[in-house]
Structures are given as structure tokens and as C-alpha cells.
Chain A
Amino acid sequence: MVRLDNLSKSFRGRPALSGLSLEIGRGEIFGLLGHNGAGKSTTFGLMLGHLHPDSGEAFIAGYSVQRERARAISRVGAIFEAPAFYEYMSGWHNLQFFVSLSGIEPDERLLEIVKLVRLEKRIHDPVRTYSHGMRQRLALAQALLPNPEFVLLDEPTEGLDPEGIQEMREMIRHLRDERGLTVMLSSHLLSEIELLCDRVAILHQGRMIFCGSWKSGEKHWRLDLDDWSKAAPVLEKSGAVSGANQLVSLREGGDMADVVSALVHAGVRVRGVEVVKATLEDFYMSHIIP
């Protein structure tokens, strides 16, 4: 559905994204992780044609965003962190306006989407009277019009209360499961990504440092050692990968008993070994702070 081919972008000589390549399959929920300024919004901007890349190309449904933008994004819906509607117009008129840029949609179709995001009671009120959660739902409604196959969600749960977050999560799942949409989303809330995404990519300082599936609950070990610098080569040799927060994971076929034995033989004091069911946060941190 989506292919990013060596995308690079810099602003005033400062690289914001360097050589990003990835693919997203149809019906997948893909998460984009990274700190502020890691390149998430730049990636979205390049995928929607808001930004011109220094090099590389983005393809959506086989069409190049850079060369055939209208075709490429004809089946794309997007939400931004802070959706900007026309405050003085009603939600309904906002939807009518944005959808008119894609084509002419009957009112019945608009109403169907409005009902889906549960805004029918307030849709004719001016947007300035909407709460943050209602704006996000309106943003989702405009993203779902006319009929996207691929939805880009930039921080869709930003500023929502816990109920709103859960509602949005259910909505995203529904979009994939019931409507077969492909979803790409970024969020600071790692727990959200953890609950929703099939695969994640981690961006750090404009570079992709991980891309793949991440299994919730994967086993890690927290080691309490007296000398980590002495332990590092031993861990490497014995098939363990050390990460942040004293966490260690094993390569395929590795055994923690062998690792501990190797450490002891190398003269490293092992004060404690604790099994940790890793969260996405641990996983993310272990990649960001190697």
C-alpha cells in the first residue's frame, strides 16, 4: 500500500529525515515512534506532498506522491495533531468544504460518517464551541471522507482524556477490522502504539533505527552487575544484547544461565537477575539509548 523510497529532507541545511525507506502492507496498522523532532511529522508531510523531498520518493497505492500527487492521495485520509478547522463555521460546513476538495459527496454519506464518529447532535454547531475530543472526532470524520483506503494519523490521541483515547483506539481498530483500512499513526503514547500496531518504526534524529514487528511481553532480563564495561564484551560473546535500564535480551537460541555463567567466569559479580516482561517503552528506550 505504501512504499517510502530513500526519503530525505533537510531544513536550512539541518537534516530532518535521512534515507527513510519502508513498506506498509494493506490492512496493516503501522506505528511511527520517535522523540520530538525525530522526523515523524516530516515523514507525514512528505507522504502527503506538503513537503518537497531533497531526495527519494513516496508511493501510495503504486502512485508517486511527488509525481502524481492527486492520484496518490485520492484514497488517503489524514489527521494532524492539532486539526485546524474554520472555527466560525459549523462542523457540517467544515466537512462539506473539505470533502468538496476531493469530489462531490451526497449529504447522506456525510451523515453516515458523522454518525460513525458520534457527532450528529452537535454537527451543526460552530466548531469554536467544540471540545478537544469533538474536534478530534470531526478530524477523523473529515479523514474518512470520501472513502480512504489509507489513513495517516499524526498524534490522534493528543490532548484527549482517557475515555477519548479509548474511543479513538476502538475507532482505529474498527477502521482496520471492519473497513479494511491501512493505518499509519504516530503517537507519544507508547502504550497506545503497543495496543494497536502490528509493526513499528523507530525514528531517531531523522534516521530509522528499527522497523519491524514487536511482540508485547517479550522476555528481557534485568541484570544487577558490578561492572557493565567489563560485562559488555562477555554479553556480546554469549549471545546477549544489552539495552537501556540494565535490560538484556537474548538472541535466538540463547540461554540466560549460560550468560550468567560466562559473566561469573569473566570475574563480573552478578548480584541479581530479574525476568522482565518488556513493554514497548523498554523496547523503545533500548533502541534510543543503546
Chain B
Amino acid sequence: MRLFMHQLGGELRKLFARKRTFIGFGAFLTFEIVVLFLLRLEKVQATVRRVIENAGYDASVYLSGLTLGFLIVMWTVLLLEALFLALVAGDVVSKEVEDGSMRMMLCRPVSRGRILLLKAIVVAFYTFVLTLFVMVTALLAGFINSGIGGLFVFAPLEGVFAFHDFWPGLLRYLAVIPLLSLSLLTISALAFCLSCFNMKPSAATVITLSVLFADSILKNIPYFDSLKEMFLTYKMAVWIHVFDYRIPWETMVENYAWLMAINATLFLIGWQAFERRDFKS
């Protein structure tokens, strides 16, 4: 166990010694500031205010830092986090194979399965850290801009429309961090699985994003309404139900169990592909 933790430390050092890892965090901050700027536009504010007031709530209470934080997260996760996770997870094995460092690792008396397990843990850790970073910085940006107040959540596609006071709202917002990380882990798992095959790192990233994009489009086509719950992006969006007045625990557990099973299957597929591969110069 001590050796495993030592090796894990080495893998984490590799990840966080790369400038690219931090460029990702920088990109998120920039993007959050852009989204915040957009949310400050009078037209956008008026729209949000109207929605809140039409529901019979006080906009001065619910157009708060917490609400802005949630809106920033919605946009950032949709547009940027998926891309970054696909980039990093798609790189994690295939880039090392491409650079030749994987061959050097495989000169050591360590099994291929162990190398993959270490890398999978690092990818999962990165997914969690990135989500934590996005959610905390979004919240801070929201607080700085709009101060403390209630939380208003509006996600029409998932059917969530809710208002929460500050403390319950903050609690739910924080509860989303591990759940959103779990959801996003599926993106990482898919990219990671593909990177175990004999392909370029960019190919793993592009295929992952293409799969998610196609899944997302197909899910919203009326023809597939009856199958909606089977789509990956449907299951991944289940975290948002934490903001429902009555959290549908059963549905959430079921969907997360599905996601975990999919992640485990992707890891096994990747592992088998990696085991059977030849590594040559």
C-alpha cells in the first residue's frame, strides 16, 4: 500500500508539474469572468429578474451571488469543463505512449494494470479538483458581484425550477460538488478508455467530445423521447435534481449506479486494450 501511494504521488506530481494543467485552471477563471460579465448585462439581469418576479419571489433576494454562481457553473461545465476533461483524460495514456515515456515506465517491474489504475485515480482526482475549483471560484465571483442571498435555480430541460433560502441553497450548492464530479467522471472515463487504444491523444479527445455531442443531440430529438433516460448526457445531468424541493434520491441513486457501471466498464475495456497492445519505438 505504501508503495502504491508513493507511485500515486509520482503520478500526481507529473500531472501538476505540467503547465498545461494550470493553464486549464486559468482558462476557467477567464471564462467565469466572461460569463459573469454577460450576466451583469442589463438585458440579461432584466430577464432573470422577470422570471423570479413572475414566480412571486423578490428579485433583490434571489438575484444573488449564489444564483450567479449556479449560472456560471451551468455555462462553464457545459462549454469548457467537458472539453478540458476530455483533453486531459484523453492525453493521460496516449501522450505517454506517443512520447515514449510509457516504454520507460514499462521497463520497470510494474504491471500494466497497475499503471492504468494509478492513471485512472489521477484522472478521477483531477476531475474532482477541477469541479471543486470551478464551483468555488464561481461562488466567490458571484458573492463578490452580487453578495449573499437566496438561490434561484432554473433548468428547463431537466424540469428544475426552485427557490431556496441562503443556507439551504448554499448546502445544496456544496452538495453538488461531489455529484457533479461523479457525473463528469464519465467524460474522463470515456476519454481515458479511448486513450488506452492505439490512437493519437487528440483523436481520443475528439471522439469523446463527438460521442457526448451526438448523445446530447439525440437525447433531445422527440423521436427518442421514450429512450431519453438511456442517454449518457441524461444520466450525467441528474446532479441538478439536488436543487429540487424534494430530492429524488431513488432516481439519483439509480442514475449514478448506471454511471459508475459505465465508468467501470470503460476502465475494463481500456485495460484489456492496453494489456494486449504492443509498444514499439
Binding site for B on A (CB under 8 A): 11, 41-42, 45, 48-52, 69-71, 73-74, 76-78, 80-86, 88-89, 93, 96-98, 100-104, 142-143
Contact = CB atoms under 8 A, between A and B. Distances in A.
Given A52-B276, A89-B13, A100-B7, A84 B99 contact: yes
Nearest to B98: A84
A53 to B, nearest CB: 10
Contacts of A86: 14, 17, 101
Contacts of A100: 3, 6-7, 9-10
A74 B109 contact: yes
Contacts of B2: 104
Q: In this complex, which of B2, B99, B109, B279 has the most chain A Cβ atoms within 10 angstroms of its Cβ?
A: B109
Q: In this complex, which of A48, A73, A84 has the most chain B Cβ atoms within 10 angstroms of its Cβ?
A: A84
A103 B14 CA distance: 18
Contact of B109 (A52, A69, A80, A104): A69
A137 to B, nearest CB: 15
Contacts of B6: 100, 104
Contacts of A83: 100, 104
A89 B17 contact: yes
B99 A70 contact: no
A85 B101 contact: yes
Interface in B223-281: 276, 278-281
Given A82-B281, A84-B103, A97-B14, 8 more contacts: A42-B280, A50-B106, A51-B279, A69-B109, A73-B109, A82-B100, A86-B17, A98-B108
A103 B3 contact: yes
A84 B278 contact: no
Main SS class of interface, B: helix
18 contacts: A45-B278, A51-B278, A70-B111, A76-B107, A80-B100, A80-B104, A82-B281, A84-B104, A85-B101, A86-B101, A88-B18, A93-B17, A97-B14, A100-B3, A101-B7, A101-B105, A102-B108, A104-B6
Contacts of B111: 69-70
Nearest to B115: A101
B19 interface: yes
B110 interface: yes
Contacts of B3: 100, 103-104
Contacts of A84: 99-101, 103-104
Contacts of B110: 70, 101-102
A209 B71 CA distance: 71
Contacts of B7: 100-101
A83 B19 CA distance: 22
A81 B109 contact: no
Contact count band on B: 20 to 34
Nearest to A139: B104
Contacts of B100: 80, 82-84
Nearest to B2: A104
A52 B101 contact: no
Contacts of A70: 109-111
Nearest to A97: B10
B104 A50 contact: no
Contacts of B278: 11, 45, 50-52
Given A50-B106, A80-B104, A100-B6, A89 B279 contact: no
A143 B108 CA distance: 9
A96 B10 contact: yes
Contact of B280 (A49, A50, A98, A103): A50
Contacts of B103: 48, 50, 80, 84
A101 B14 CA distance: 14
Q: In this complex, which of A76, A96, A97, A104 has the most chain B Cβ atoms within 10 angstroms of its Cβ?
A: A97
Contacts of A89: 13-14, 17
Contacts of A102: 108-110
Nearest to A48: B107
B281 A41 contact: yes
Given A97-B14, A100-B7, A50 B105 contact: no
Contacts of B13: 89, 93, 97
Nearest to A84: B100
A80 B281 contact: yes
Interface in B99-147: 99-101, 103-111, 115
A73 B278 CA distance: 17
A52 B19 CA distance: 35
B104 A41 contact: no
A45 B280 contact: yes
Contact of A98 (B19, B105, B281): B105
A96 B105 CA distance: 12
B106 A49 contact: yes
